[in-house]
Amino acid sequence: MALKLYGSVASDATQRVQACLHEKEVNFEFITVNIAAGEHKTPRFLARNPFGEVPALEDGDVTLFESRAITQYIAYKYEGNGTDLILKDPIKLALQTVWMDTENQRFDPPFSKLIEATIEGKNGGQDVREYERKLESVLDVYEQRLKESKYLAGDSFTLADLHHQPGMHYLRSTKAKGWFQGRP
């Protein structure tokens, strides 16, 4: 039975899980949740994610929500498939976790607020400039790190890098793409 991923293609959290499934070469069925129609707040979807947010994953009797938890589940369960996204050495795994937590705590909050402010049409507002400054300071730290290693957690692509992909991809399609010029 194939995994079922419930989500929205516009959701960076859904994109994070999709990227992981593709990296691990896992077949899955994508079920679109129509956010505009409120499908994420229906009792049927709330049974999968009580917070009413996408994505949600069903794998047989296992139902998970929260994209980063889902990607870890996939990376461990399908360890022999595709790209190895989890480092096994305890020190390397700790370093990977540092950068995964950094993405979740330092990169994603200003990124999400910046996108929210942009979508609401506050492009020239103080909020946008504040979020841009916060995000640029995080990118400065990443730039320094990537001068020392090929990827955030070392010499191989891991969940620490994958978790950043949707946000970085989005930023590169906006006026913020200039932030990346001259960075590794």
Fold of 90-180: Glutathione S-transferase Yfyf (Class Pi); Chain A, domain 2 (1.20.1050)
pLDDT at 1: 64
pLDDT at 123: 55
Q: Tell me the pTM.
A: 0.90
Q: What is the dihedral of CA 31, 17, 174, 125, to 10 degrees?
A: 90
- Chain segment 95-115, per-residue pLDDT in tens: 999 999 999 999 999 888 888
Q: What is the CATH number of domain 3-77?
A: 3.40.30.10
pLDDT at 48: 97
What letter does residue 154 receive in the DSSP assignment? B
